C-alpha cells in the first residue's frame, strides 16, 4: 500500500522567513495530495491540496509543488507569522481510497 | 452547520472496559473515517466507510468495531480496552466521488489505565 514519508519532523524559522516541508510517496498511482494544519487541541484542517494533473498551486502565502516523476511534493509557506506555528501533515491517496498521512512536522515561528 | 461532531472529548477507561466513541456529521458526506493519532506516528487509519451499510478496515483495525447504519453517524467501538489504545481519536468525513477534502472532528482523547 501507499507509504508517505515527511521531513523534517521539526522546523524552526524566524518570523518573516520561508518554511518548506517535503513529502515523498511510494504509489505512483496516487493522484491527490492535501496538506493539513493542526493547532494544539484541535483536529487537522485542510489548508491546500493538489491533484496529479497540476504541478503547482498557490493560495496567498502558501504553495504546494508536485513532482510526479520523483514522487515528492512540498509545502512552501512564505513570510511566516507566529500564527503559522502548528503541526503540518501531508497525505496522499488514489481514486477514492482513504488518505495516508505522513508523520507530521512541528513548525515553530519565532518572533 | 456543525460539521463533524465527536463525543466525548475526554475519556478514561480501565483495561478490559468497552465503550463507543460517537461521530456525527451534518454535511451529507458519503465517506467517513476513523484515525488515531499517537506521538511521532501521524494519523493512522482504523476503519472507514464509503456509505451507509458499507465499512472496511484500515491500517490498525484490531480491537475496534464500526458500523454505519445511517449517513450521519459512524460510531467506533472499543471491545475490550487496552493501554495500547491510549490515543487521540479523530473522525473525518468527505463528500463522494471526485470530492477528496476531509473535514475532521475535534477529537476524543482516550486514556486506558
Phi first, then psi, for residue B71 (nearest 5°) are: -65, -35
E runs forming strands in chain A: 4-7, 10-14, 19-25, 32-38, 45-51, 56-59, 62-67, 72-77, 86-92, 100-101, 105-110
Q: CA-CA distance, A35 to A37, in Å (whole number)?
A: 7
Residues 6+ apart with CB under 8 A from B38: B44, B87, B88
Under an 8 Å CB criterion, which residues of B touch A? 4, 31, 33, 35, 40-45, 48, 50, 58, 90, 92, 96-97, 100-107
In order of A12, A29, B110, the CA distances from B37 in angstroms are: 23, 26, 11
Cβ–Cβ gap A49/B100 under 8 Å? yes
Among A87, A81, A92, CA closest to A50: A92
Average pLDDT over residues B6-32: 96
Choose the mutation target among B35, B43, B98 for the interface with A, i.e. most A CBs under 10 Å.
B43
Q: Is the pLDDT of residue A8 over 80?
A: yes
pLDDT value of residue B1: 62
In this prediction, residues A36-53 reach a mean pLDDT of 93
Q: For residue B87, report the phi and psi dihedrals to the nearest 5 degrees.
A: -175, 175
Q: Which of A2-6, A84-88, B39-43, B109-113 has the lowest mean pLDDT?
A: B39-43
At B29 the pLDDT is 92
Helix (H, G, I), strand (E, B) or coil at B69: coil
3 state SS of B99: coil
pLDDT single digits (tens) A56-101: 999 999 999 999 999 999 999 999 999 999 999 999 998 778 999 9
- C-alpha dihedral, B41 to B44 to B46 to B48, nearest 10°: 170
Q: What is the pLDDT of residue A97?
A: 86
- SS3 of residue B66 by DSSP: strand
Nearest to B42 among A42, A45, A104 (CB): A104
Rounded distance between C-alpha atoms, residue B2 and residue B51, angstroms: 20
Cell numbers at residue A41, please?
A: 487541541
Instruction: Return the DSSP state at A15.
Output: T
Amino acid at each position: 500500500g501507499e507509504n508517505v514519508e515527511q521531513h523534517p519532523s521539526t522546523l524552526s524559522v524566524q518570523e518573516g522567513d520561508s518554511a518548506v516541508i517535503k513529502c515523498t510517496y511510494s504509489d505512483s498511482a496516487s493522484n491527490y495530495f492535501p496538506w493539513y494544519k493542526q493547532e494544539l487541541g484541535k483536529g487537522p484542517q485542510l489548508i491546500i491540496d493538489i491533484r496529479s494533473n497540476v504541478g503547482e498551486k498557490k493560495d496567498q502565502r502558501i504553495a504546494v509543488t508536485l513532482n510526479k516523476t520523483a514522487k515528492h511534493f512540498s509545502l512552501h509557506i512564505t513570510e511566516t507569522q507566529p500564527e503559522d506555528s502548528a503541526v503540518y501533515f501531508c497525505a496522499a491517496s488514489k481514486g477514492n481510497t482513504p488518505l495516508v498521512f505522513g508523520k507530521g512536522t512541528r513548525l515553530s515561528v519565532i518572533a | 452547520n456543525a460539521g463533524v461532531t465527536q463525543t466525548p472529548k475526554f475519556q478514561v477507561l480501565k483495561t478490559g472496559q468497552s465503550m463507543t466513541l460517537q461521530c456525527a456529521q451534518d454535511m451529507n458526506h458519503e465517506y467517513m473515517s476513523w484515525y488515531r493519532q499517537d506521538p511521532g506516528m501521524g494519523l493512522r487509519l482504523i476503519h472507514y466507510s464509503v456509505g451507509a451499510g458499507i465499512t472496511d478496515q484500515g491500517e490498525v483495525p484490531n480491537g475496534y468495531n464500526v458500523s454505519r447504519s445511517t449517513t450521519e453517524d459512524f460510531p467506533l467501538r472499543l471491545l475490550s480496552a487496552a493501554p495500547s489504545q491510549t490515543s487521540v481519536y479523530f473522525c473525518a468525513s468527505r463528500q463522494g466521488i471526485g470530492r477528496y477534502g476531509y473535514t475532521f472532528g475535534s477529537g476524543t482523547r482516550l486514556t486506558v489505565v
